[in-house]
Amino acid sequence: MSDMHEKYNEIEKLIDDEQFTEAIDGLKEIVAADESFVLAHLALARVYTKTGQHDLAIQHAEKACELEPGDSFNYTALSVTYQRAWAGTQDQQFIAKAEEAMAKAQTLAQQ
CA 100 – CA 104 distance, rounded (Å)? 6
In percent, the amount of the chain with pLDDT more than 90 equals: 95
Q: What is the chain's mean pLDDT, rounded?
A: 96
pLDDT of residue 102: 98
Q: Could you tell me the CA-to-CA distances from 105 to 18, 21, 65, 97, 111 in Å, in that order? A: 29, 30, 10, 12, 10
Specify the amino acid at residue 100.
E
Superfamily of domain 3-110: Tetratricopeptide repeat domain (1.25.40.10)
Q: Could you tell me the CA-to-CA distances from 71 to 1, 7, 21, 51 in Å, in that order? A: 22, 23, 28, 26
pLDDT, mean of residues 33-61: 97
pLDDT of residue 64: 98
Domain boundaries of the chain, sorted by first residue: 3-110
